[in-house]
Amino acid sequence: MNNISMPFLFPGEHLLSSLARWFDIQGRNDFLMTCKPYFPNINQLNPSVIWRPIYAELLSHYIDTYGVDKIINEHTLLPFYRYFLSEQDAANLNEQGYLLSGGKVQVGMQTHVKSAYHWRWCNECVQADCDQYGTTYWHACHQIPSIQRCYKHQTPLISGCKHCGFEYKHFQRHSLPPENDRCLECEHQLLPSSLALYPDSHWLDAISLALYQNPLQLSIEDLRGLMRDKLGYKELPRNLSVAQRLDVSTMQTNFEQSLNDAVFDIYFKRSRGDIFSVGQKVLNIVTFAYRDARIPPISILLMLKSLKLDDDIFKLVMDSRDES
């Protein structure tokens, strides 16, 4: 391990944010050239992947001070994503040896999700962080793609500039959130997007935050089980009868009709027509529930909401909180 001094982690700070602040402290201009000698796996520093080699490199600097559990639970997105992982991925991320070895775990079909690759911030948090700590930083909770509002202030999160189109997808040009709510590229005011068109975005924010903050004994198979019970089939045969094909088609049609058009503008990179084209899986309720397709958490949460299983999930969260 290179003997460098990393900054202390701030409350709720994303682990990668510590590297952005370390670079800022160095006072140099080129992020990659500055960091590469100390952190070889520095490419693609976006929040879309749950664990990658750069996390292990950073973990090695902090493990003696904070311990693995605190770093994982307070400074990464693993507490949220753990419910949506395959059994093997979940087992890997429970092993300290795997974490330190630099393995990689990512979410299925995350490239379809609009906010998955963008660093996002809240202007009110930025001001509070500057007042309290003298700098801005990236909050882990703000990087959960299914959360669109700040967990503290309920204001829509910002990922870039509407005027010039600049977006924070990596740290090469700008490594930390801007301090004065002005774009560092064009100086225009940075404004959040309007989320008023989709009322269920409040539920998605709330359930995503609840899953992040409350450790549950809940797996992706449990979620599939809840959906199968609601849909009425424990399993589907590979070769469906005519009646079953009609049922399957109705399941998918009902789900598609339950989604407001704003869902696609807010959460996905593609239009409704593209998402629901022949062969798509990202919002196919049958391929997830019965064919074990790997899809993004936002898709699974939308399916649970459409099937009116939102109360069941919240009950699991609240029961877990009461037990703890």
DSSP of 196-226:
TT-TTHHHHHHHHHHHHHS--S--HHHHHHH
Crossing angle between the packed helical segments 53-66 and 68-75, to the nearest 10 degrees = 120
pLDDT of residue 323: 60
Q: Is the whole-model pTM more than 0.75? A: yes
pLDDT of amino acid 280 = 86
pLDDT recorded at residue 137? 98
Integer angstrom CA distances of residue 310 from 81, 316, 322 = 18, 10, 18
Helices 310-323 and 201-213 meet at what angle, rounded to 10? 30
Residues of the chain with pLDDT under 70: 1-2, 194-197, 318-324
89: three-class secondary structure by DSSP: helix
pLDDT in tens, 151-165: 999 999 999 998 898
Task: Give the separation between CA 66 and CA 61, rounded to whole angstroms.
Answer: 10
Name the residue ranges covered by the structural domains of the chain.
Answer: 15-112, 216-323
Give backbone dihedrals phi and psi of 3, rounded to 5 degrees, phi first.
Answer: -85, 80
C-alpha distance across the termini of the chain, in Å: 37
